[in-house]
Amino acid sequence: MPTSKRAVAKYAGGFIAWVIGSGFATGQEVLRFFTSYGSFSYGVVLVNLIGFLFIGQLILTTGYEKKAVENFNPYIHFCGRKLGTFYSWLIPVTIVLIMPVLISGAGATLHQYYGISTVFGSALMTLMVLAAYLIGFEHLVRIVSAIGPVIIIFSLMVGSATVIRDFSRFGEISTYEPILSQSQASPHWVLSAVLYLSLTFLSGSTYYTALGQSAQNRQEAKYGAIVGALALIAAITIMNSAILLNGENTALLSIPMLYLAKEISYLLGAVFSVVLILGMFSSCSAMMWTVCSRFNRGGTRGNRIFAFFIAVLTFTLGLFSFRDLVGTLYPMVGYLGLVYIGCVVWKGVSYELSLSNH
């Protein structure tokens, strides 16, 4: 079956959608894992480029190859039964800890730009995510794959305009490094790079393998992951540069990218706030599916009750400060996934070596 460019774009959008939640789209995630290391942030970008290209296509193509396996478990596949089972139980817990960050980010964004109550904004996002889950995964892929490219294009637009405007400030980056360092996700930039890969793929493997399983052929899954990874890293590079060039103003903000958009134009900032909400929705709804699709007690009715319970729990936790949640929970999830990422890389390298020997 020939590879469809439209299908590749669809899976690339779906690939991006997992990552572009409130942490990414607001710039808070980029600030903590990338920009806070100053000039070394470009080293973090390079490590993530290599990691996303290799691990991303490996996990999606694995999903495609195992599409006939009922209830395929990527954690057991990559780590073996004992460790894989441990991760299988850990993942819903870590995702439930990440989802409140997205819910909190939605409330913070709506409050900052429109004066809407944070509680109301978070409740609205929670209801949207619950509704997205109830309509089913195939419909969800269509929704989030459409949102993904919009977020990337808008982030590139705001970031590029900022970089062009402030390009002359590159020589001043070293003066911003002391204040930027207060937001670091880990003690060293190399560890931060690995933690970001771990954060993404530990929590996202079930979603990514399901995305690969929905592909019509292996090439669509592979190239969808590659295009998605390249687009994502391009957006991170631009966003990192934009925040870095305005380090003295963005280092301690909850939503650095919204500040940059507003500096360009107040109207642009208003539009970007809506784009941010869409990004939070795309990522959180994908996580909702990952958690709730595993629960099958009580049939459809039991699953819906469980989804409602998760929605209430994440809403409650999402009432905490957005910036504090990103700074605490995201690195913690990254540390939890270090062994898993090691297993994935080992399995992938072993597979490639076995192919070259035949």
**What is the Cα–Cα distance from 78 to 238, expressed in whole angstroms?**
33
Confidence at residue 344, expressed as pLDDT on a 0 to 100 scale: 93
pTM reported for the whole predicted model? 0.84
Contact 106, 118 (CB under 8 A): no
Per-residue pLDDT of the chain (358 residues; tens, 9 = 90+): 566 788 898 888 888 877 876 567 788 899 999 999 999 999 999 999 999 999 999 999 999 999 888 889 999 999 999 999 999 988 888 888 889 988 998 888 888 778 888 899 999 999 989 988 888 765 666 666 667 677 778 888 899 999 999 999 988 888 999 999 999 999 999 999 999 999 999 988 988 999 999 888 899 999 999 999 999 999 899 999 999 999 988 888 888 888 899 899 988 888 888 888 887 887 788 788 878 887 878 888 899 999 999 999 999 999 988 888 888 888 998 999 999 999 999 988 887 777 666 6
Confidence at residue 358, expressed as pLDDT on a 0 to 100 scale: 60
Q: What CATH number was assigned to the domain covering residues 5-350? A: 1.20.1740.10
Q: How many beta carbons lie within 10 A of that of residue 257, not counting itself? A: 28
Confidence at residue 137, expressed as pLDDT on a 0 to 100 scale: 60
Q: HEC profile for the chain? A: CCCCHHHHHHHHHHHHHHHCCHHHHHCHHHHHHCHHHHHHHHHHHHHHHHHHHHHHHHHHHHHHHCCCCCCCCHHHHHHCHHHHHHHHHHHHHHHHHHHHHHHHHHHHHHHHHHCCCHHHHHHHHHHHHHHHHHCCHHHHHHHHHHHHHHHHHHHHHHHHHHHHHHHHHHHHHHHHHHHHHHHCCCCCHHHHHHHHHHHHHHHHHHHHHHHHHCCCCHHHHHHHHHHHHHHHHHHHHHHHHHHHHCHHHHCCCCCHHHHHHHHHCHHHHHHHHHHHHHHHHHHHHHHHHHHHCCCCCCHHHHHHHHHHHHHHHHHHHCCCCHHHHHHHHHHHHHHHCHHHHHHHHHHHHHHHHHHHCC
User: Quick one: 136 exposed, middle or buried, by C-beta within 10 A (0-12, 13-18, 19+)?
Assistant: exposed
Domain boundaries, the chain: 5-350
Contact 183, 32 (CB under 8 A): yes
Confidence at residue 148, expressed as pLDDT on a 0 to 100 scale: 66
Q: How many beta carbons lie within 10 A of that of residue 352, not counting itself? A: 12
Confidence at residue 70, expressed as pLDDT on a 0 to 100 scale: 84
Cα dihedral angle (203, 209, 212, 214), rounded to 10 degrees? -110
Confidence at residue 35, expressed as pLDDT on a 0 to 100 scale: 95
Confidence at residue 340, expressed as pLDDT on a 0 to 100 scale: 94
Residue-level length of the chain: 358
Of the candidates 55, 51, 335, the residue with the CA atom closest to the CA atom of residue 187: 335
**What is the Cα–Cα distance from 277 to 106, expressed in whole angstroms?**
6
End-to-end, the C-alpha distance of the chain in Å comes to 26
Confidence at residue 71, expressed as pLDDT on a 0 to 100 scale: 85
Confidence at residue 141, expressed as pLDDT on a 0 to 100 scale: 60
**What is the Cα–Cα distance from 44 to 35, expressed in whole angstroms?**
9
